[in-house]
């Protein structure tokens, strides 16, 4: 036996000091391998839509309804199953409705608790008792465990089981217990959540989405370009701070920055009112929601919108000039403006500007901040880097997130793998060296982490510039377009010049071999491996399908954000991967919790079986199963060492 192996086994012996301890753990782990694989839930492009996000989490993209159907079938009515599902989603609100309508509430409590326990037993059947026990709400741990393990169908236990329920009702704890069981069902129905990018921007409540994710028991996140923009802003990247504020202003969400994160925007407001007091800011109108925005704020917000946009163009220009390797000189547009003639030159053509009021630009040095702008951006930078809540959220994004993830045979990323026209992986210059494919992802993620955590000033600044690069470069795997035409959309009338052509990646989505080559690049092979992708909304209204490359690649952004829903025709896709296969769910727009409770309405319009496994997947087939198998091998080696006397039992 090698010395290192012996040292490891001696360390393992401290945890399992006897043959009995080691053998018992082998039995336990071997049994776990035979359990059904836990259900994975994939969701992407949330964009601050908190209520819709919460509803999809609560219903498990239809997983709860399927579990109810499996358990009860035709034994209860369609209306009864619908009401039970709504109760599991929103127990407190549903019980308020029931209390107003139900004549015999005690009977309803008894029937409902029995039904909930049946669903809970079914949901918990794929887990060990230890795992279920840890998930049970502490206040009712004894009662729920007894109900889950009890056998009311056996005469010896029937009276005991029923008395537990009757005593709960008699002591006035029924509502609380029902709420606790519903929470447990929702916890058990999905084993792991994947968020495939873009939590932030457009919608008004990304901070609430982040709070909810931080409470989730098992989650990973693949960063989208909007997430990286916020991460860079939190790190102190001034161009991305302006970008975050600009997008918040554009969608009428400045109150989220002020109230949700406590970011002081008064310095920016003063700059805007001073520099743009008489400017109508007609090109900076807001895309706000009438029911969620105070129109009295519009005039000031439009001026702030313009002020921060001009600052963003200047700061982005400084980054581009400092990094010629970014190959983004075509985005240097302020110095292409002829202010006397009111035109800007793009390539060989001149375009008339829709707005020629640039009071803070020095045309001899157009990318230099004015003194007042420099003061404002420094105050904003300090506000972002010292915002405790934002830093807590961004630390969570770093802890649970990455640019890509390989999980149980699937490859998850937000945008694309940059490719050339012939389908080969495009080489991208990062800090003077070229990378492509998986290597590009790995080196870029390393840069991002240094941009936030490095203690070396130059290294940290370089990392933050790379975060900005990832936000909108043609070579960014999380952006995936030829250029970001922010300036053109504000200042040029011609719609054709506002176009943002997609990466060649998106022209290859009809080719199965293309997806297989990407999977192979990331170490995945076989018929059951898939790419799960977000970022580009699928236009269902035009007949587009989220299933690409003959089923090997799934783009599950269907317009979660309300801004996109008129264009896509739905309100997003999500994906469920359970022990039987992959199920794609398309969602209708979510109106309100009140309507969901009152009408029992759900927001799943239809589900599509993407792949059905020939045999039910078990824990042994998962990444966790591979780790367990290694643990079993180590424990068997320890047993052998005990039996041979190489290691003494404790």
φ/ψ of residue 355, rounded to 5: -145, 125
| % residues pLDDT > 70 (the chain) | 97
What average pLDDT does range 300-329 have in this prediction? 97
Tell me: pLDDT of 240 over 90.
yes
pLDDT digits (tens, 9 = 90+) for 443-480: 999 999 999 999 999 999 999 999 999 999 999 999 99
Tell me: pLDDT of 385 over 70.
yes
CB 578 within 8 A of CB 610: no
φ/ψ of residue 361, rounded to 5: -95, 130
* Average pLDDT of every residue of the chain: 92
φ/ψ of residue 404, rounded to 5: -150, 165
CB 40 within 8 A of CB 192: yes
Q: What is the CA radius of gyration of the chain?
A: 28
H helix and E strand count, the chain: 26, 17
List the chain domain ranges. 3-35+623-644, 40-195+534-617, 220-386+427-487
Tell me: pLDDT of 154 over 80.
no
Q: CA 381 to CA 235: how far, in whole Å?
A: 9
pLDDT digits (tens, 9 = 90+) for 208-221: 999 999 999 899 99
pLDDT digits (tens, 9 = 90+) for 485-529: 999 999 999 988 999 999 999 999 999 999 999 999 999 999 889
Structure tokens at 330: 């075509």
pLDDT digits (tens, 9 = 90+) for 551-605: 999 998 866 777 767 666 667 788 999 998 998 888 777 777 887 787 766 656 5
Higher pLDDT, 610 or 243: 243
Q: What is the pLDDT of residue 404?
A: 98
- Greatest mean pLDDT among 5-19, 293-307, 436-450 lies in 436-450
Q: CA 33 to CA 185: how far, in whole Å?
A: 23
Q: What is the band of 295 on the pLDDT scale with cuts at 50, 70, 90?
A: confident
Q: What is the pLDDT of residue 242?
A: 98
- Greatest mean pLDDT among 67-81, 85-99, 314-328, 612-626 lies in 314-328
CB 411 within 8 A of CB 578: no
CB 356 within 8 A of CB 342: yes
Tell me: pLDDT of 413 over 70.
yes
CB 573 within 8 A of CB 584: yes
Closest CA to 127 of 36, 63, 66, 192: 36
pTM above 0.85, yes or no: yes
Structure tokens at 579: 């022990």
| % residues pLDDT > 90 (the chain) | 77
Q: What is the band of 544 on the pLDDT scale with cuts at 50, 70, 90?
A: confident
């Amino acid at each position: 036996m090698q010395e290192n192996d012996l040292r490891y086994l001696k360390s393992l012996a401290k945890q399992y000091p006897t043959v009995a301890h080691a053998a018992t753990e082998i039995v336990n782990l071997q049994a776990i391998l035979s359990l059904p694989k836990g259900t994975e839930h994939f969701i992407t492009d949330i964009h601050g839509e908190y209520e819709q996000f919460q509803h999809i989490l609560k219903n498990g993209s239809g997983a709860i309804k399927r579990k109810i159907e499996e358990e009860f079938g035709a034994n209860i009515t369609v209306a009864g199953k619908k009401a039970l599902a709504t109760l599991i989603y929103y127990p407190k609100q549903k019980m308020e409705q029931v209390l107003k309508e139900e004549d015999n509430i005690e009977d309803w409590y008894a029937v409902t608790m029995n039904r909930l326990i049946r669903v809970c037993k079914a949901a918990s059947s794929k887990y060990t008792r230890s795992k279920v026990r840890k998930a049970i709400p502490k206040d009712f741990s004894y009662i729920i465990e007894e109900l889950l393990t009890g056998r009311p169908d056996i005469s010896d236990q029937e009276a005991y089981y029923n008395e537990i329920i009757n005593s709960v009702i008699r002591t006035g704890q029924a509502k609380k217990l029902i709420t606790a069981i519903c929470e447990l069902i929702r916890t058990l129905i999905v084993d792991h959540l994947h968020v495939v990018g873009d939590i932030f921007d457009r919608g008004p409540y990304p901070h609430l989405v982040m709070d909810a994710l931080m409470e989730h028991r098992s989650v990973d996140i693949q960063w989208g370009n909007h997430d990286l923009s916020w991460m860079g802003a939190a790190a102190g990247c001034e161009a991305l701070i302006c970008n975050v504020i600009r997008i918040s202003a554009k969608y009428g969400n400045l109150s989220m920055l002020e109230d949700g994160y406590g970011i002081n925007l008064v310095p920016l407001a003063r700059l805007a009112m001073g520099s743009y007091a008489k400017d109508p800011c007609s090109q900076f109108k807001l895309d706000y929601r009438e029911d969620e925005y105070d129109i009295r704020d519009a005039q000031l917000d439009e001026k702030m919108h313009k002020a921060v946009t001009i600052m963003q163009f200047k700061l982005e220009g400084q980054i581009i000039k400092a990094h010629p390797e970014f190959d983004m000189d075509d985005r240097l547009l302020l110095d292409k403006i002829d202010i006397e003639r009111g035109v800007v030159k793009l390539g060989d053509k001149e375009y008339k500007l829709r707005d020629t009021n640039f009071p803070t630009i020095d045309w001899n040095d157009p990318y230099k901040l004015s003194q007042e702008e420099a003061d404002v951006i420094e105050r904003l930078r300090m506000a972002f880097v010292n915002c405790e809540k934002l830093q807590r959220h961004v630390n969570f994004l770093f802890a649970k997130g990455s640019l890509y993830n390989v999980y149980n045979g699937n490859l998850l990323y937000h945008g694309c793998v940059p490719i050339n026209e012939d389908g080969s992986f495009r080489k991208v210059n990062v800090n003077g060296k070229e990378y492509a494919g998986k290597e590009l992802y790995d080196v870029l993620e390393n840069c991002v982490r240094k941009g936030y955590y490095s203690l070396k000033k130059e290294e940290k600044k370089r990392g933050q510039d790379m975060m900005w690069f990832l936000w909108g470069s043609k070579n960014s795997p999380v952006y995936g377009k030829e250029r970001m035409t922010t300036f053109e959309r504000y200042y040029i009338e011609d719609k054709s010049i506002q176009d943002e052509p997609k990466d060649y990646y998106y022209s290859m989505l009809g080719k199965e071999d293309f997806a297989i080559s990407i999977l192979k690049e990331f170490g995945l092979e076989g018929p059951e491996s898939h790419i799960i992708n977000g970022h580009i909304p699928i236009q269902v209204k035009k007949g587009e399908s989220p299933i690409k490359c003959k089923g090997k690649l799934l783009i599950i952004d269907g317009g979660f954000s309300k801004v996109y829903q008129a264009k896509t025709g739905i309100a997003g896709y999500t994906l469920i991967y359970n022990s039987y296969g992959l199920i794609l769910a398309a969602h209708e727009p979510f109106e309100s919790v009140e309507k969901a409770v009152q009408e029992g309405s759900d927001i799943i319009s239809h589900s599509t079986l993407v792949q059905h496994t020939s045999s039910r997947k078990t824990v042994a087939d998962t990444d966790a199963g591979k780790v367990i198998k290694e643990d079993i091998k180590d424990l068997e080696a320890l047993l052998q060492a005990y039996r041979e006397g190489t290691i003494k039992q404790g």
